[in-house]
Amino acid sequence: MERLGMWVTRHRLAVGLLWLAVTAVGSVLTPSLSGRLQSGSHVNGPAFTANTAIAAQYGGAAADPGVLILDTPAGQTVDTPRVKQDLSRIDAALAEAAPDLRVVSFAADGDAALVGTDRTSTIVLAYPPKPSDDIGPEQVDLLTAAARQAAPDLTVHGTGYHALEAGNTTGGGNSSVLSELLIGAAGALLVLAWVFGSFLALLPLLTAFISVLTMQVLIYGLTYLVPSSSPLNPSVQYIVALLGLGLSIDYSLLVVTRWREERSAGRSNDEAVLAAMKRAGHSVWFSGLVASLGLFALTVVPNSVVRGIGISGLFIPSTATLVALTLLPAILSKVGPRTDRPRRASRRTAASRFWTAWSIGVIKHRVLAAVVGLGLLGALAGIATTIDIAQPTTHAMASAGSYTDGLHALEADGFPSGTLTAVPVYVPHAADARAVVTSLDSLSSLRGAAVAAGPGWSASDGSALVVAIPRTEIGSSHSGTALADVRAAAGSVAPGALAGGDGAQRIDATNATYGSFPLLFGIVALVTFLLLARGMRSLFLPAKAVLLNMLSVAATYGILVLVFQQGIGMRALWGTGSYGTIDAFAPVLIFGFLFGVSMDYEVFILARVREGFERTGSTREGIVEGVSRTGRLVSSAAVILFFALASLSTANDVTVREIAAGLASGVVLDAIVVRMLLLPALVSLFGDRNWWLPDRARRILRLKPAAGPGAPAARREPAHTAHTAHAAHTVRDAG
């Protein structure tokens, strides 16, 4: 780290110009990144096979459809000649308004499954042109307006699963990454202004801005490298931008705080930069390595969305680390002292009186602190055992608005909510389509089925598409046997028939994701333990850190259950009720992100505990110095990351919202309960055992034996002397 710091300060102009060029490229490419990202997940399984066959002939017909509900005037039915004319005009108007969409309608095929109670209503199912598209609020609004204009005598409602998911916002969709990034940056600036009390608060924001743009450039390049069968999901841009903002500020905050502390101790500016690189720089590098591991390990999950986020997530801590260890020291060596004004703000570099008193209090009442901390985490982890991983039902997402009105009209006409997750069935031979419809009509788990007929439904391979309408929503926790029934019935009359759809794909994705979760868990835990054991020269501290991290993640799942599954605070925060379930992607992605990010705080604190232990030979004094010096830093970093993630939770996407809110609450929980309460309490409780490292483990970790009188494990020596020597060697090796 010292050599890197010396090289950077000598070549600071070149370093600055290089990052300026990268920033310029990022500014140009970032606006077009969203066009390179595609929604949808790709998981090998029966649904993926079916959806691939459907996409080849029928484009986006495997997506959840947009639904128009058409009610006839009083005293008339769908068989009334005038109504028939209206229905035909609606089909023509839809084809003119949205020529790329494919629709399934009663006017085109006459199937009874599309007709409501007493034949006074009917539905139109609309599908997007491409497999990567959805029928969202914009398309539903467009179709609804076209139908109303074509047949003003009919009552027309529009709805759809993705329209409800978007929060009933007319013309909805995800809010821009830029707006959420600005919200997160504004919250971070307030915290940084409080921490530094000078213009130095702008420096972490500047480096974070450059980091985020660099990450966007790397993701843009990655879109050309990943296979077209597994494109990167749009949620990648959100996660990289907001989590990148928080991590970049965290790493910069650590380096700048240490530089300022060294300056206050009387060092020259260049000496302070090198000292900050030696101590804080090592912590940043090590934290970035562990955080990258937690994210990259997501690639073991056989799901294109999770793997894409894992690969993309690798750039978040690595880029933040690179900027903090190159651009930041270059800036500090050039203009650092001039930005640290007013000078009275430098008094804040002293150890915090609050955190000093806090650490002494925790040590004094360490048993009580451990019981309270473990009890809180254990209670939340217990709540997490009730987690229900599935897509939310339409009723859970339907709070108020035009799309909710459409859902209510749909059900009032005798159609089940499962209509919004209709199951497309690929029939290899069109001659078998009617036999498949007849077979599906007899199933009690379905309302019926219809052949997709009319413009856009002729296939070059001689196949046909049948749409089955389940009584329950496919992919939800109440989906029942509808999907299995469709597959069995269709396959019995049409060999080679394939049932797919978004809901079926989500079921396959959930099974694949959590089938690989033990492997993900094991890899992350083992490699993190080995890295920490080598860095901390201890077996006990990394074991404690990994176990507490697991408990912290489980407790975060408990918060997810309380908020999104049970609905506590949902109405106040997002204006909607409980989802009743937890999205399938949220727990596994939260594990990957939170496990790595929370290790930052562990490394930040223990690095200072080691320094204090080296200086005094006392574990107690090391804890006091470590917490008093890092308490403000860790709490501020957690609040900054919380602001960044909380702003991301405003996105109109259930998955992104749950991940962001879960991570935001998990970061605060981990920083306060785990790192600032349990860490000092447990380190104090276990005393000398914290530094235990047998010779055999030392050899396996390829660490040199500690030199000096405290090295031989069998030698009896005063505790003070032995631990002082051990700590000194620990810090030399670590950094």
The string of DSSP letters for 671-705 reads IIIIIIIIHHHHHHHHGGGGG---HHHHHHTT-PP
Which residue, 438, 492, 446, is CA-closest to 469? 446
Any domain includes 700 = no
Q: d(Cα 532, Cα 338) in Å, to the nearest integer?
A: 37
For 682, what's the count of Cα atoms within 13 Å in the CB-facing half-sphere?
24
Check whether residue 411 and residue 461 sit in a common domain: yes
For 681, what's the count of Cα atoms within 13 Å in the CB-facing half-sphere?
21
Decide: 473 and 393 in contact? Cβ < 8 Å: yes
Check whether residue 55 and residue 19 sit in a common domain: no
Q: Letter for the amino acid at 296?
A: F
Any domain includes 461 = yes
Is 320's pLDDT higher than 80? yes
Is 265 buried (19+), middle (13-18) or exposed (0-12) by CB count in 10 A?
exposed
Check whether residue 242 and residue 337 sit in a common domain: yes
Compute φ and ψ for 43, nearest 5 degrees.
-135, 130
Any domain includes 514 = no
CATH of the domain at 329: 1.20.1640.10
Is 345's pLDDT higher than 60? no
Q: d(Cα 335, Cα 269) in Å, to the nearest integer?
A: 10
CATH of the domain at 121: 3.30.70.1430
Is the N-terminal amide bond of 428 cis, ω within 30° of 0? no
Which residue, 634, 628, 632, is CA-closest to 667? 634
Check whether residue 187 and residue 144 sit in a common domain: no
Domain boundary among 309, 329, 350: 350
Strand ranges, E, within 439-567: 446-451, 464-470, 498-499
Check whether residue 164 and residue 75 sit in a common domain: yes
Angle between helices 315-339 and 2-10 (to 10 degrees): 60
**Model confidence over 625-637: pLDDT tens digits?**
889 988 888 888 8
Report which of residues 189 and 414 the model is more confident about. 414
What is the domain extent for residue 254? 1-36+176-350
Q: Letter for the amino acid at 120?
A: T
Domain boundary among 506, 530, 560: 506
Check whether residue 17 and residue 54 sit in a common domain: no
Domain boundary among 471, 489, 506: 506
Check whether residue 105 and residue 221 sit in a common domain: no
Check whether residue 129 and residue 193 sit in a common domain: no
Q: d(Cα 383, Cα 679) in Å, to the nearest integer?
A: 23
pLDDT at 165: 80
Check whether residue 220 and residue 316 sit in a common domain: yes
Compute φ and ψ for 426, nearest 5 degrees.
-85, 120
Any domain includes 576 = no
Any domain includes 515 = no
Is 323's pLDDT higher than 50? yes
Q: How many distinct structural domains can be found in the chain?
A: 2
Report which of residues 42 and 682 the model is more confident about. 682
Helix (H, G, I), strand (E, B) or coil at 66: strand
Check whether residue 326 and residue 418 sit in a common domain: no
pLDDT at 726: 40
Check whether residue 79 and residue 160 sit in a common domain: yes
Compute φ and ψ for 425, nearest 5 degrees.
-120, 120
Mean pLDDT of 647-666: 82
Cα 101 to chain centroid distance, Å, stands at 31
Cα 366 to chain centroid distance, Å, stands at 35
Any domain includes 159 = yes
The residue behind tokens 């599906």 is 440
Check whether residue 194 and residue 310 sit in a common domain: yes
Lowest mean pLDDT, pick from 2-6, 132-136, 320-324, 557-561: 132-136
HEC per residue, 78-145: CCCHHHHHHHHHHHHHHHHHCCCCEEEEHHHHCCHHHECHHHCEEEEEEECCCCCCCCCHHHHHHHHH
pLDDT at 178: 63
Decide: 572 and 378 in contact? Cβ < 8 Å: no
**Model confidence over 451-491: pLDDT tens digits?**
999 888 989 999 999 999 999 999 887 788 999 999 999 99
Decide: 245 and 319 in contact? Cβ < 8 Å: no
Any domain includes 16 = yes
